[in-house]
Structure 1
Amino acid sequence: MALLLCLLLLSAGRVSGNDSFSEQTDRSRLRAIKPVILHSEIIPEPASVPSAHASTIVETGDGILAAWFGGTYERHPDVSIYTSRFKNGQWSEPVKVADGVQNESQRFPSWNPVLFKRDNGDLILYYKVGPSPSTWWGEYKISTDEGKSWSAMEAIPRGCLGPIKNKPVIIPGGKILYPTSIEIVGKWNVYMEMSNQDLTDWEKIEVDNNGFDAIQPSVLFHKDGALQILCRSKNERVVESWSYDNGKTWSPLAPTELPNNNSGTDAVTLSGGLQLIIYNPVTSGRNKLAIAGSYDGKIWEKLIDLEDQPSGEFSYPAIIQDKDGIIHVTYTYNRERIKYVQLKL
């Protein structure tokens, strides 16, 4: 019996040692990654639009398209959705493409645009309209010409909201999976939605929030077919959930090792399998913004600081990878403009 116990303990020690060695190997590999900034600038905006926030970005066949909401200030009824295109090294003049006008006497602010390209090449612009995040509803427009023009507004079916801040993804089988959440007084709650690519047959998928106040998930793909969401929270940590059945069910939310300052993040799975998150690497303030990397979604290492200032707000980022492997980032710059950064690893 003593010999058996000894062997079991030795075996456990070897497993633990292997796990520790694997973690150190991953961290060493991640620390060896050296992102290079290729381009960085503030996207021009008309002087008549003094505030900008909550950007989104997508690759098109005619350059990189960004969108954000802008107006007098967040929640003002004049806040609308604007787009600008990065082509041949320059950003185009921003164009207003959506607003919250209801009729001649009523207008609500617009919020949180999300750009997405479906398999047929159409662009979809999802956004919110309403007096506040607790009362808003989801709308969308479709472009068949790379975002140069947009269809009339369509409402997302009642009971669903569409993507809240971060881009949806297409999962095996062709459906669109939407990372979404609600913000009601006293409670935040993450969940998921799914629809066909023609934006029919919407369904809502519950996620056990496990006592966390969390919103604004983003979706990552893993080599074993698992899906992971990373979410903003009020709990000083980015929180996560996992699905092993193509998004039909999800594990209870749990904290990651990543700090969170109750501000939005975004994440992307690169073509080679590396996971990236862009986030504020602090638990308070929004004066720092960074990108971290992971191979397994568990072990994270900060790869680069994009902003590290004594004060200011650098927040609500968006991140994508284009067909050539270049990484594109946008984020709020002091609530006045949207900043664009282009990187390679």
Structure 2
Amino acid sequence: MPNQLNHPATKLLALLTVASLLWLRNTTTTIEWVAPEPIDYPTTTQPLYENQPLPALTRNVHASQAVPLPDGRIAVFWFGGTKEGHRDVQIYRQILKDGQPQGEPEPILSADQLADRLGIYVKNLGNPVPFYHNGQLHLFVVSVALGGWATAQVSHLVSDDLGDHWHNARQPILSPFFNQSTLVRTTPRVTREGFIVPAYFEQGRINPMWLHFDDHGQFLYSETLPVEGLQPAVAPSSAGEADLLIRPLQTGPVLHIESDGHGEIERPESVNPPQNPKSAVAVLPLNDQEWLMAHNPGKRRDSLVVSHTRDGGESWQPLKIIVREDGERFSYPSLTVDDDGVFHLFYTHKRERIQYVRFNWAGLTE
């Protein structure tokens, strides 16, 4: 039998893997995060708590992500099709106003449409991440040409009319390894130079990444973090620093990292770190030290809760069980807030639909 280690293809694969890992070496880039405006949530109003399914046009849906629009509406995006990874998966958009869906969900992007825009082959689509910045709505989408999610790429589209039309499709160069193995999931955050899209790398090792963009949405560079984990959710502070809540690789506590913006990171202690079944979390900063987090609280994805911290993650208090049903799966939450202090939570309900929960502070804590 010939020695497979001497095969040219094997040598090429090894060389590209090493090149990719060297490219993705840990960096010490200085980042000055810009904290969101503190959220004014009235605590004495009448409780508001509404729970409804969004219309589903496909058998399987997953990975919703929402963005408030400047006209007061909420846009939520997800992928749906016969099943995850299938050729017929498309990206869908649903517009909501005052808590009500405005019409049916609209398919806005298929694999074939993205392939035509990019001029390359695209087999299927995954996680969409919308972000409104500097007068434009950005949409980042996971796309796959060959294999599965471990060979995924990030595609970037832009809209000047809040998502009715999309243009300028491109793929940032993130890795020499065929530009593969990078995925996105969580909300981008503003920096002094523009914004950062949190990402994660899945080839040879699993690390959170930062994708840096300037104020006009042009890709600048990427960097990796010297920790292992998936889908980092970011809570910036007014000091230019940030806390990261990261999906762990094994069932256990949510990984909490403090970043000073100069490449130094710490793992702060928590008296009761939220447990996590290797599942995505959503973090919403209310101010520098106060955050909400939507997450699966135990060893399985059969319940979803919203927890609260007032001390930057040193301690957590579960506020509301959103859903719980033994043996089922509720996952991939997205959490945002509008200008009236009303919160909007979306999550995957049994892979059958996207569930929408709308509440104010009184409704969350009653």
- Aligning the two structures, in what range does the TM-score lie when normalised by the shorter sequence? 0.7 to 0.9
Q: What one-letter code is carried by the residue in structure 1 that aligns with 2:353?
A: R
**Structure 2 unaligned residues grouped into runs of 5+:** 1-42, 362-366
Counterpart for residue 113 of structure 1: 128
**Residues 1:50 and 2:59 are matched in the alignment:** yes
Question: What TM-score, normalized by structure 1, do the two folds share?
Answer: 0.80
**Residues 1:82 and 2:92 are matched in the alignment:** yes
1:129 pairs with 116, 119, 143, which one?
143
Counterpart for residue 340 of structure 1: 356
Q: Which secondary structure does the structure 1 equivalent of 2:93 belong to?
A: strand
> After the TM superposition, which residues 265-304 of structure 1 pair with which residues of structure 2 at under 5 Å, given as runs?
265-270=281-286, 274-283=290-299, 285-295=300-310, 296-304=312-320
Is the Cα contact below 8 Å between 2:280 and 2:333 reproduced in 1? Answer: yes
Task: State the Cα deviation string for residues 60-81 of structure 1 (Å, max 9, x = none).
Answer: 1151100001001011111111
- Output the CA distance in 1 between the equivalents of 2:326 and 2:45: 24
Q: What one-letter code is carried by the residue in structure 2 that aligns with 1:73?
A: K
Is the Cα contact below 8 Å between 1:114 and 1:165 reproduced in 2? Answer: yes
Is the Cα contact below 8 Å between 1:208 and 1:252 reproduced in 2? Answer: no
Is the Cα contact below 8 Å between 1:207 and 1:250 reproduced in 2? Answer: no
CA RMSD in angstroms, aligned pairs only: 2.7
When residues 163 and 323 of structure 1 are mapped into structure 2, their CA distance, relative to the original with a 3 A threshold, is farther
Q: Which secondary structure does the structure 2 equivalent of 1:153 belong to?
A: strand
Q: How many residues align?
A: 303
When residues 182 and 50 of structure 1 are mapped into structure 2, their CA distance, relative to the original with a 3 A threshold, is same
- Output the CA distance in 1 between the equivalents of 2:324 and 2:156: 35
Counterpart for residue 189 of structure 2: 169
- Output the CA distance in 2 between the equivalents of 1:35 and 1:223: 31
The alpha-carbon deviation at position 222 of structure 1 amounts to 3.1
2:108 pairs with 90, 94, 97, which one?
97
The structure, 1 or 2, with the larger RCO (C-alpha pairs under 8 Å, 6+ apart) is 2
Is the Cα contact below 8 Å between 1:221 and 1:269 reproduced in 2? Answer: yes
- Output the CA distance in 2 between the equivalents of 1:286 and 1:224: 35
Is the Cα contact below 8 Å between 2:237 and 2:288 reproduced in 1? Answer: no
**Residues 1:65 and 2:75 are matched in the alignment:** yes
The alpha-carbon deviation at position 334 of structure 1 amounts to 0.4
Counterpart for residue 203 of structure 2: 184
Is the Cα contact below 8 Å between 2:151 and 2:182 reproduced in 1? Answer: no
- Output the CA distance in 2 between the equivalents of 1:137 and 1:105: 12
Q: Which secondary structure does the structure 2 equivalent of 1:234 belong to?
A: coil
Identity over the aligned pairs, expressed in percent? 24
- Output the CA distance in 2 between the equivalents of 1:122 and 1:341: 26
The alpha-carbon deviation at position 143 of structure 1 amounts to 1.4
- Output the CA distance in 2 between the equivalents of 1:280 and 1:64: 24
- Output the CA distance in 1 between the equivalents of 2:50 and 2:289: 24
Is the Cα contact below 8 Å between 1:126 and 1:163 reproduced in 2? Answer: no
**Residues 1:147 and 2:151 are matched in the alignment:** no
- Output the CA distance in 2 between the equivalents of 1:225 and 1:272: 10
Is the Cα contact below 8 Å between 1:162 and 1:178 reproduced in 2? Answer: no
Task: State the Cα deviation string for residues 285-305 of structure 1 (Å, max 9, x = none).
Answer: 211000111122221111111
Q: What one-letter code is carried by the residue in structure 2 that aligns with 1:67?
A: F
When residues 34 and 318 of structure 1 are mapped into structure 2, their CA distance, relative to the original with a 3 A threshold, is farther
When residues 37 and 232 of structure 1 are mapped into structure 2, their CA distance, relative to the original with a 3 A threshold, is farther
Counterpart for residue 16 of structure 2: none
